[in-house]
Structure 1
Amino acid sequence: MDLRTAFPRSMKEKLSGYVHLARMIDKCRAVLAGTEGEYIYPCPMDERLLDFAGITSEQFTAAVKANPTDEGVVAWFRQAAKPHSPAELEQWNRALLRRGPSSPESAERFKKYRDAIDPSRSDITAWSDLQDLEEGRPVPRREPVA
């Protein structure tokens, strides 16, 4: 995958029940190929998924390198990841997709990125929505949270 000319999959896309897994695979493949452009792997969101799964970025990178297909990576991931109940996984997925800035510095960076893309979208408060907006995916408008 060449992330200098294409976008990775949305972190909202589920693979094997996990949000962000497909995106992380795309970014890892691009890093292995030297075509990551401005994308970062492993980034803080990648680390959150890896921590939840109990896998290191080195283990994940080796698995992606050894498995040229999503199916191969997913088979390895299912075997290597800590088991979670469907309810735990769904709760974690929702929390990751709702995650916004976690510090004043992060909030400033978030606002700067969002305003550079579309200053009218003050309804966007989650990194997942900001990524989709930046990469041209539709992001429904939300009512501001009071």
Structure 2
Amino acid sequence: MNFSAPDLSQHPPRSVRIRLGGYVILPRMLDKCRAEIKGTQGPYHYACPIDQRFLQFTGVDAEALKAEVSKGLGDGELLAWIQKNGKTPRSDWEIHHWSAHQEATAPGAFESREFVNEQIKSAGLDKRSDLATWFDWLDADDFVSYGGKA
């Protein structure tokens, strides 16, 4: 697999749980951004609502980040850019607690819960009672979308 320019029509992005600089969501978002630039994003969308959580927390503009990603920078270089250019600098403590909160967040609003339930059912995961959080659903959906068994 080419992680510097992933083909997300062939494999999923990194798990939403993988951290970079302590941030969940960020490595997955970078994978989607790189794939979108290359035109190989498959069913994934850069700057989707999950990505927006990171962008809002850090105060990073999605298009400005995409411009940096398009330069071919690595994860560490992009993290340094985010730390320098984010409008909302965060301490290690804040990043840790924000990431832990994101991992534990479940769909709350009726429309969100209904959407996730429909996605779980269409993926054949409706027998799974352990899919409680957004991250649980995303990881399971990535797995079955690329040939894994529910």
Q: TM-score range by the shorter chain?
A: 0.7 to 0.9
Q: Percent identity?
A: 36
CA distance in 1, matches of 2:21, 2:76: 9
**Contact 1:117 / 1:134 at 8 angstroms: preserved in 2?**
no
Q: Does 1:18 align with 2:36?
A: no
CA distance in 2, matches of 1:85, 1:76: 16
Q: Does 1:83 align with 2:89?
A: yes
Aligned to 2:117: 111
Q: Which range moves more in the overlay, 94-103 or 28-37?
A: 94-103
Which consecutive segments of 4 or more residues in structure 1 shift more than 3 A?
A: none
**Contact 1:11 / 1:19 at 8 angstroms: preserved in 2?**
yes
Alignment coverage as a number of residue pairs: 137
1:38 to 25, 40, 43: 43
Aligned to 2:12: 7
CA distance in 2, matches of 1:70, 1:117: 34
Report which structure shows greater RCO (CA 8 Å, sep ≥6): 2
Structure 2 segments unaligned to the other structure (5+ residues): 1-5, 145-150
Deviation at 1:117, TM superposition (A): 3.2
> TM-score of the superposition, structure 2-length normalised?
0.84
Aligned to 1:68: 73
1:92 to 63, 76, 98: 98
Q: Does 1:101 align with 2:101?
A: no
Structure 1 segments unaligned to the other structure (5+ residues): 138-146
> TM-score of the superposition, structure 1-length normalised?
0.86
C-alpha spacing 1:22/1:12, structure 2 compared with 1 (3 Å): same
Aligned to 1:121: 128
Helix, strand or coil at the partner of 2:10: coil
Helix, strand or coil at the partner of 2:70: helix
